[in-house]
Amino acid sequence: KLDKGYKIRFETAVEDQEYFADDVQFELTSESVKSKVEGKGFIRYIRLMPQ
């Protein structure tokens, strides 16, 4: 699925608090698998672990 235009999006919410529809969103590429993506809400960052 790498480098084919797919994106990964994480949505986060906490009861009685904010809802982030796109807390983290990034395209699934060979480069993004090796990097760290910062979140905009409750997620600090996402780092994928290639296997």
Mean pLDDT of 19-44: 92
* pLDDT tier at 51, thresholds 50, 70, 90: confident
What's the whole-model pTM score?
0.76
pLDDT at 16: 93
Per-residue pLDDT at 44 exceeds 80: yes
What are the extents of the domains in the chain? 7-46
Place 30 in a pLDDT band, splitting at 50, 70 and 90: confident
Q: Please, are residues 25 and 32 in contact by the beta-carbon 8 Å criterion?
A: no
Q: In the chain, where do the E strands start and end?
A: 7-13, 19-27, 36-38, 45-47
